[in-house]
Chains A and B, each alone.
Chain A
Amino acid sequence: MHLQFGCNPPTKSQRRRSEEKNTKKTLDFPKLSPDACVFHCSMSPQQLNMAAVGFRNWARALSKGKQPGFSALFSQVRAASGPSKGMLPGPYPQTPEERAAAAKKYNMRVEDYEPIPDNGEGYGDYPQLPDRSQHERDPWYSWDHPDLRRNWGEPIHWDFDMFIRNRVDTSPSPVAWHTMCKHLFGFVGFMLLMFYLGEKFPSYQPVAPKQYPYSNLHLERGEDPEKQPEEVKHFNI
C-alpha cells in the first residue's frame, strides 16, 4: 500500500522573486483528490512521507548485496521532505555568479551579501552580518517574532543564540569599554597584589609559644610522678 501525496511546494524563498508574476494569490498546497488518501492517519502527510521514504531507503540500502551492512547506513540518499541542496548553506562562493546565487538564497541584496572570510573554520558561504545584539533592535516595531525581535525569513546571524535578549548585549555602555576594563582589572589587580604582599610580609602583635603551668603540666602529660620535672626556661632576662 503506497500513500500518494503531491510533491512538496517550492520553498518560499524560491518563489519570492516570481511572486509578482504569479497571478493567482492562493498558496499551492498539494492537490489531494478524495481517492488518493487511502486512510486517515494521525501524523501529518509530511511526517508520514518522510518516515516512509526514510525507512524504504534504509531497508533498500541494507538489503543491497554490494554495500557492506554498516556503511550502507551512511549512503548519500536523503529524504526529499526538507529543503533542497540549493537552499542549504554551501561552500565559500568563488565566482560572482555563485555570490549572486548565495545572496538570493539568503534573501539579501547582492551588494549587501558578504560571506564570512574563508579561513578554514567551516563557515562556508554564510553571510557576515553586523555584530549587533537583539537588544539594539527597535522594541516598538511589529516584528513577526517579538521576543526575538526578528522577522520571518530574515537572515540569522551566526551567533544569533548569543545575541538574544537574555544574553550578550552590545548596546552602548555608559562609559567607554576600554575605560570600564581598565577600572575593573585595575582594581582587581591592585587588591590581588596587596593581599599577596600581606601574605609575604605579615605584620601582627608579637607572639610567643604558649606557656603551661605545673612544670609544663608534668603530671597531666602522664609522666612519672616520682621523677623530678625538667626545668623549662621560657625567657631570658
Chain B
Amino acid sequence: MADYREAPLATRPKTLDPAEYFNLSLNQRRAEEERAGLRAQLKRQYQMQLNNPHRKELIEDPALTRWVYARTNPYNHFRATKKTSLLGGLFGVVPLFVLYYVLKTDREEKRPCIYS
C-alpha cells in the first residue's frame, strides 16, 4: 500500500488514506465506528423497504424531503444583514437603473439617425 499512487485526476479513496491506518487514537476509531454504525442502520432500513414484497409505493427518502424543503424555503430564516442587503441591491435594484440608463442613452443616440 505504501507505493499506491492514485489514478490521475481522481481523489485518493478514504480507505486508502494512510491517516486511516497509522497512529489512530481510540477516539478516532470510536468516531469511525459510530459513523459506520449509522451507515449500516440506514442501509438496513433501505434494504428492508426495498425487498419488502408487500410494498406497493415508492420508498420515501426523508433526507431528500428535508433537502428540498430547505432549498425551497430559505426566506423563513432570511435576515436583512449588510451582506444580504448588498447582494439584493446589487442583483435586484441596480440592474433596473443601469439597464434603463443604457437602453435610453442608446435609443437617444439612434433616434436622429432613424428619424432624419
Residues of A within 8 A of B59 (CB): 152
Q: Contact size class for A?
A: 35 or more
Interchain CB contact (< 8 A) of B41 among A19, A112, A136: A19
Cβ–Cβ contact A152 & B42, under 8 A? yes
Distance in angstroms between the alpha carbons of A121 and B62 in the assembled complex? 23
* Contact bitstring B48-63, A, C-beta under 8 A = 1, else 0: 1100101011010111
Give, as a whole number of angstroms, the nearest-CB distance from B86 to chain A: 11
Cα A111 to Cα B9 with chains together (Å): 31
CB <8 Å contact, A152 and B61: yes
Interface SS, B side: helix
- Interface residue stretch chosen among A48-56, A169-177, A182-190, A222-230: A169-177
A173's nearest neighbour on chain B, judged by CB, is B9
Closest-CB distance, A87 to chain B (whole angstroms): 6
Among the 9-residue stretches A8-16, A67-75, A193-201, A207-215, the one with 4 or more Cβ atoms under 8 Å from chain B is A8-16
In the complex, whether B25 has a CB less than 8 A from a CB of chain A is no
Known contacts being A44-B57, A109-B35, is A120 close to B84, with CB within 8 Å? yes
A109: chain B residues within 8 A (beta carbon): 31, 34-35, 38
Assess the A16–B11 pair: CB atoms within 8 A: no
1/0 per residue, CB under 8 A from B, across A8-37: the answer is: 000111011001000000010100000000
Contact at A152–B38, with CB atoms within 8 Å?
no
The tally of residues in B whose CB lies under 8 Å from a CB in A reads 46
- Kindly state whether residue B80 has any CB partner on chain A within 8 Å: yes
Q: Is the CB of A120 within 8 A of B9?
A: no
Q: How far is the CA of A13 from the CA of B60 in the complex (A)?
A: 11
B39 contacts A151, C-beta separation under 8 Å: yes
Q: Is the CB of A82 within 8 A of B65?
A: yes
Contacting residues of chain A (97-135) with chain B, CB-CB under 8 angstroms: 105-109, 111-112, 119-124, 126, 132
Which residue of chain A has the shortest Cβ distance to B45 in the bound complex? A12
> Would you give the 0/1 interface string for A127-171, flagging 1 where the beta carbon is closer than 8 Å to chain B?
000001000101000001000000111111010100000000001
Contacting pair B54 A29 (CB below 8 A): yes
Give the Cβ gap from A59 to chain B, nearest Cβ, in Å.
Answer: 26
A155 touches B63 (CB 8 A): yes
- Tell me if B71 counts as interface (CB < 8 A to partner A): yes
Q: What B residues does A158 contact at CB under 8 A? A: 67, 70-71
The reply on A217 being an interface residue by CB < 8 A is: no
Instruction: Check if A16 sits within 8 Å of B76, measured CB to CB.
Output: no
> Is the beta-carbon distance between B77 and A92 smaller than 8 angstroms?
yes
Complex-state Cα separation, A158 to B8, whole angstroms: 28
Does A171 contact B9, Cβ atoms closer than 8 Å? yes
Closest A residue to B27 by beta carbon equals: A111
13 residue pairs of the A-B complex, CB under 8 angstroms, read A12-B62, A87-B62, A87-B65, A89-B69, A122-B73, A152-B59, A153-B46, A153-B62, A154-B63, A155-B63, A156-B64, A156-B67, A171-B9
B interface residues with partner A (beta carbon < 8 Å) = 8-11, 13-15, 31, 34-35, 38-39, 41-46, 48-49, 52, 54, 56-57, 59, 61-67, 69-71, 73-81, 83-84
